[in-house]
A and B are shown apart, each in its own frame.
Chain A
Amino acid sequence: SQKIEQNSEALNIQEGKTATLTCNYTNYSPAYLQWYRQDPGRGPVFLLLIRENEKEKRKERLKVTFDTTLKQSLFHITASQPADSATYLCALENSGYALNFGKGTSLLVTP
């Protein structure tokens, strides 16, 4: 069966450090993968999209990698700030239009 796995344990890091979140998947061949941020009581907000032929994508302090051999994406936030505290969701393309989401990893950045 198809699975998208994100670390269910919260990630606690100190301000200024790099946060790295992992998304592993099985039985998918996604054309692209997306990362979203979700704050309590709000809907997810799109951050980055990376396609299967791209190894890495950057946007300001964010970096995403996509390894289709390992079936894994890594999401990095450099120089993390308390305002980066949120739940981060990875989402995989399925059937050309549907996005299937992982359950997310909660990030807490402490001053």
Chain B
Amino acid sequence: DAGVIQSPRHEVTEMGQEVTLRCKPISGHNSLFWYRQTMMRGLELLIYFNNNVPIDDSGMPEDRFSAKMPNASFSTLKIQPSEPRDSAVYFCASSRDGNSPLHFGNGTRLTVT
């Protein structure tokens, strides 16, 4: 079991650029979550997918953020245009179902200058 795989591990970009973060969940897991972690706010839930369908995106900060899950083995989180305040570590997590423990990837550290 390779675990949840995220790419890239680090991303440095300039303000205004588009950023795409990628996630491959654990095979057989039907729930996928995107979280953002900062020192100030801790881990914040951005969006939750169940069976590839977005169920709750109330945590997505603005229209600049969008997430997709075209199939059970791939999800993306896109920020367009990026801003310095988007700098954070973005985690993807999957679980067997919405009530099971989460398996996290090792995150993407995003720096927007």
On A, residues with C-beta under 8 Å from B are: 32, 34, 36, 41-46, 49, 89, 93, 95-104
> In the complex, are the beta carbons of B56 and A101 less than 8 A apart?
no
Chain B: how many interface residues by the 8 Å CB criterion?
Answer: 22
Interchain CA distance A42-B107 in the complex, whole Å: 7
Q: A41-B106, A43-B93 are in contact. Are A98 and B101 (CB under 8 A)?
A: no
Does more than half of chain A's interface fall in helix, strand or loop, or is it mixed? strand
Complex interface: chain A residues within 8 A of B88 (CB): none
| 26 residue pairs A–B, Cβ–Cβ below 8 Å | A32-B99, A36-B102, A42-B107, A43-B4, A43-B91, A43-B107, A44-B43, A45-B104, A46-B102, A93-B99, A95-B56, A96-B98, A96-B99, A97-B31, A97-B50, A97-B55, A97-B98, A97-B99, A98-B48, A99-B45, A99-B102, A100-B45, A101-B35, A101-B42, A102-B42, A103-B42
- With A and B bound together, what is the CA distance between A46 and B26 in angstroms? 15
Q: Which of A34, A49, A104 contacts B42 (CB 8 A)?
A: A104
A8 to chain B, nearest CB (A): 10
> Which residues of the partner chain A approach B25 to less than 8 Å between Cβ atoms?
none
A106 to B1, CA, bound (A): 29
A35 to B: closest C-beta gap in Å = 10
Question: What chain A residues lie within 8 Å of B42 (beta carbons)?
Answer: 101-104
Q: Closest approach, in angstroms, between the C-beta of A92 and any C-beta of chain B?
A: 12
Instruction: Please measure, in the bound complex, the distance between the C-alpha atom of A110 and the C-alpha atom of B91, giving whole angstroms.
Output: 30
